[in-house]
Amino acid sequence: TWQPRPPGPEWQWQLVGRVDESVDAEMFDIDLFDARPGQVNGGVIQRLHRRGKVVICYLDTGAWESYRPDAEAFPSSVIGRGTGWAGERWLDIRRASWPRFAHIVWRRLDLAQRLGCDGVEPDQNNPVGNNPGFPITYADEKAWYLEVAGQAHRRGLSVGMKNGVEIVDRELVAAFDWALTEQCFQYRECARFEPFVAAGKSVFQVEYAVPPSRFCDLSRRLGFSAMAKRPALGRWRRACPVG
């Protein structure tokens, strides 16, 4: 299982459009469904592997997306309020609801395994405080994060803890192979991810509204692999020097 050490490798995070394979990066984080045969990035995983690159596949595990091919498989009873992204709504991740939808999410992990993804970036597992439409607690949120990590590992996939700054603790650091945080500099939350670095695990950091000149020095001191991106997560990036 891929487990990068801090400060982590140069990386690219591109979730829309044809992946720019010319980017000078060791790890590429791309959309899972777009990497299926016949889709815009069909075959990209194998091409990147031939060049010695690591490929992480992005998928939602805590939200329903109207535009995904498995959207109709989710029962309406587990679909909550919008996440703020068009066509995306929170899922009821409380343990009692798992039997109604979790198997659909695990099939996405199966797809990642079949396509040859080295690991996964499971998103939208942190509904607490985001008005999801269900009375989800921090305990519920943590239990779901841990279950997602365990399911990924059962399939031999590396797995990162995406966001969830409010519940990072020793158990979660141990469960995940690395972390990915958005806007921790902007919201003064980066220190919350230091336990990953202390455990010898990489933290991948992205900022949208702050120029690299303002956060790269701090990111380097913390041991993060950081870059600036635009929220659409296309090709554009401005990476901080690693090391």
80-125 pLDDT per residue, tens: 999 999 999 999 999 999 999 999 999 999 999 999 999 999 999 9
157-199 pLDDT per residue, tens: 999 999 999 999 999 999 999 999 999 999 999 999 999 999 9
Which residues lie across from 55 on neighbouring strands? 28
**Mean of per-residue pLDDT scores for the chain:** 97
CA-to-CA separations, 236 to 12, 228, 229, in angstroms, rounded: 9, 9, 6
Q: pTM score > 0.95 for this model?
A: yes
List the Cα angle 40/178/205 in 5-degree steps.
70
User: pLDDT confidence of 243, banded at 50, 70, 90?
Assistant: low
Secondary structure letter of residue 242 according to DSSP: P
